[in-house]
Copies of this chain bind each other. A is one copy, B any other.
Amino acid sequence: MKAFACIAAAATLMALAAPASAQFAKPEDAIKYRQGAFTVMGAHFSRIGAMVNGKVPYDAKAAADNAAVVAEMAKLPWAGFGPGTDKGGNTKAKPEIWTEQVKFKEGGDKLMAESAKLATAAKAGNLDALKTAFAATADTCKSCHDAFRSK
Contact = CB atoms under 8 A, between A and B. Distances in A.
B40 A33 contact: yes
Contacts of A15: 56-57, 59
A18 to B, nearest CB: 9
A35 interface: yes
A72 B37 CA distance: 13
A30 to B, nearest CB: 9
Chain A interface extent, by class = 20 to 34
> DSSP majority for the A interface?
helix
A32 B39 contact: yes
Contacts of A59: 15
Contacts of A43: 23-24, 29, 33
A72 to B, nearest CB: 6
A83 interface: no
A35 to B, nearest CB: 7
A88 interface: no
Interface of A: 8, 11-12, 15, 23-24, 29, 32-33, 35-40, 43, 47, 56-57, 59, 69, 72-73, 76
